[in-house]
A and B are shown apart, each in its own frame.
Chain A
Amino acid sequence: MKFFIMLLMVIGCVFASEVKVDGAYSKMLGNPFKAKLEVKTQDIAVVSSPVKNLELVVETNREREFGFYNPTFTLNSSDCSNVLRTFLSEDFNIVATSSNSATCEIVRGKVILTYVREQERWMNQLSDIVVELTVRVKSTVNGTVKEFTADSKMNKELNKTGENYGLSIRAVWNPDYSNVEQNIQKIAEHSIYDILNKNLNGASR
């Protein structure tokens, strides 16, 4: 029995939790006006890059001590193409046999976790999550090859600033039940979409 518990603890420490970038959040960024007003005339094939497990660098505001270890996260570097697919489907028809092609790969990633309580190692309440990503994209559209590597840094608020009734205490409460992995996924998908929007926009023209 003791051995079994030990084994469970070892397994828990060794395996990092995986962040799935499957395009669930980037699908919500579609533009309904574009679907109505613009006709898709060109085809493109989204090519997945080779599958590679990427370990994210994790930084926290807490010192490493007994009973606290930095959480570890892994990411599939080729999952970037899921976001690329939803982005390109706004302008192109996605056809696997097309002569136009695009591919995307996450080169490196870093997660910065800010704990509310720096000293209390048993209270894992987070006040902010920052995700830094480096993405490499290559696209070939009508014979024009475009290749670039871009960085992004995005926080839990998706880099938005603004007021939400200031310091008020409200009767309506919208708790965010999503866990750390889901939050990292949401931030990662938004930042990849943002990179593509800034660098690849107008690829169809």
Chain B
Amino acid sequence: MKNLFFLVLLPFLFTGCMTVTANYNPEYNSLEKNDYISKVNKSSVSVDYSDFVLKRSPTSLSGSALTYEIHNELFSKVSFDFFSQYFNNVKYNQKSSDYYSKVELIDFGVSFYSLGDGSKVYIKIKYSFYDKNKELFSKVYETTQENNIILRPFAFTKKESSLELIQKATFLMFETQIKPDILNAL
């Protein structure tokens, strides 16, 4: 009877309950980043660095036992990467800079493919851009990205590719959605 009890309990012991933290990794967007642009020297940009955590679980059946946590720090660092492509003077939390950029994570979601090793990511952020202390614009942006991975050898879980996707999607959002709005506001 005791053995039967353990046998019933066994599947629940291997559900894979754990917390996954999406940390910033410079390798994830270094291929998309362009280092060869002739940069702006006369103006400086400051990036807001505030840290808070948001937690969500994947909405798909597989991986629903996982808990994803994203620190807002990730978005500050990606926006730093974005601005350092175009500006020489980019710093964190410097009020004396000419322009000030602020990102706040509102919501995110992760889901896994039922077939294949791919994942889908949804990110919603609030972005504000200031000229000294005057707010130039503030807007909510959202993006959905898939990585279309069929097979990933030597990876035991699907979570690694999703972490890479979160950062890539954010960088892409800066390049395609936020950059035109900043240029319009300037």
Contact between A171 and B36, CB atoms less than 8 A apart: no
Residues from chain A with Cβ under 8 Å of B161 in the complex: 165-166, 168
CB distance from B100 to the nearest CB of A (A): 15
Assembled-state Cα–Cα distance A164/B164 (Å): 8
Contact between A37 and B42, CB atoms less than 8 A apart: yes
Residues from chain B with Cβ under 8 Å of A87 in the complex: 38
Assembled-state Cα–Cα distance A175/B40 (Å): 34
Contact between A36 and B186, CB atoms less than 8 A apart: yes
Decide if the interface of chain B is mainly helix, strand, loop or mixed: loop
Residues from chain B with Cβ under 8 Å of A160 in the complex: 30-31, 33, 35
Contact between A37 and B29, CB atoms less than 8 A apart: no
Contact between A165 and B36, CB atoms less than 8 A apart: no
CB distance from B130 to the nearest CB of A (A): 15
Given A162-B29, A165-B147, A168-B149, CB of A31 within 8 Å of CB of B86: yes
Given A161-B30, A162-B29, CB of A29 within 8 Å of CB of B36: yes
- In the assembled complex, B117 has its CB within 8 A of some CB on chain A: yes
- In the assembled complex, B122 has its CB within 8 A of some CB on chain A: no
- In the assembled complex, B11 has its CB within 8 A of some CB on chain A: no
Of the 9-residue stretches A71-79, A107-115, A189-197, which lies at the interface with chain B?
A189-197
Contact between A29 and B38, CB atoms less than 8 A apart: yes
Residues from chain B with Cβ under 8 Å of A201 in the complex: 38-39, 41
Interface string of B9-38 (1 = CB under 8 A from A): 000000000000000001111110111111
| CB neighbors of A among B137-186 (8 A) | 147-155, 160-161, 164, 179, 183, 186
Contact between A31 and B155, CB atoms less than 8 A apart: no
Assembled-state Cα–Cα distance A190/B37 (Å): 10
Given A33-B40, A34-B86, CB of A162 within 8 Å of CB of B183: no
| CB neighbors of B among A21-44 (8 A) | 29-34, 36-38
CB distance from B138 to the nearest CB of A (A): 19
Interface string of A171-191 (1 = CB under 8 A from B): 110000000000000000010
Contact between B152 and A166, CB atoms less than 8 A apart: yes
Residue in A90, A169, A190 with the greatest tally of chain B CB atoms within 10 Å: A169
Residue of B with least CB distance to A204 = B41
- In the assembled complex, A202 has its CB within 8 A of some CB on chain B: yes
Contact between B183 and A33, CB atoms less than 8 A apart: yes
Residues from chain A with Cβ under 8 Å of B127 in the complex: none
Residue of A with least CB distance to B113 = A171
Name the contact of B28 in the complex, choosing from A36, A37, A91, A163 (C-beta under 8 A): A163
Name the contact of B40 in the complex, choosing from A30, A37, A157, A197 (C-beta under 8 A): A37
Contact between B40 and A34, CB atoms less than 8 A apart: yes
Residues from chain A with Cβ under 8 Å of B186 in the complex: 33, 36-37
- In the assembled complex, A167 has its CB within 8 A of some CB on chain B: yes
| Chain B contacts to A: CB under 8 angstroms | 26-31, 33-43, 86-87, 116-118, 147-155, 160-161, 164, 179, 183, 186
User: Could you pull out 21 A-B pairs where Cβ atoms are within 8 angstroms?
Assistant: A29-B34, A29-B37, A30-B37, A31-B38, A31-B39, A32-B86, A34-B39, A34-B86, A160-B31, A160-B33, A161-B27, A161-B31, A162-B28, A166-B152, A166-B154, A168-B161, A169-B150, A169-B152, A193-B36, A201-B38, A202-B41
